[in-house]
Amino acid sequence: MSPGQPAPKLHLTNTADYRENYANSVQVRVSLWDFFLMFGTVNQSAPDAVTISNFQGVFLSPPQAKALANLLAQNLKQYEAAFGEIRLEAQAQGDVIQ
């Protein structure tokens, strides 16, 4: 898009297989070509038993992953300004936060 040119009108549609789910686990794999985000839910049935049920994987190009990181950072900053700091607790598995 050239300077002075009007922005195109954006139309959002959902495909027939569109769905929304809750995730409290996101695992990330990185390669030279892309980022892979695997979303799931964590269920701890006992102090020593945790199950992660993955339900969706999404591939992102590196530029799109960076744009998502910037967008999340901006929205988290606004959320914390409105509702207070979000504090993360390190997990017992090598201080990995899931």
- Domain annotation covers residue 76: yes
Residue 6 and residue 81: Cα distance in Å, rounded? Answer: 33
Q: Is residue 7 in a domain?
A: no
Say if CB 43 and CB 51 are below 8 A apart.
Answer: yes
Q: Which pLDDT value is given to residue 29? A: 97
d(C-alpha 98, C-alpha 39), whole Å: 11
Q: Cα(13)–Cα(19) distance, rounded to whole angstroms?
A: 12
What's the pLDDT at 91? 61
What pLDDT is stored for residue 77 in this prediction?
98
Number of domains forming the structure of the chain: 1
The range of the structural domain enclosing residue 74 comes to 25-83
Q: Residue range 57-86: average pLDDT? A: 97
**Residue 60 placed within a domain:** yes
The pLDDT confidence band at residue 96, using thresholds 50, 70 and 90, is low
Task: Taking residues 55-74, report their average pLDDT.
Answer: 97
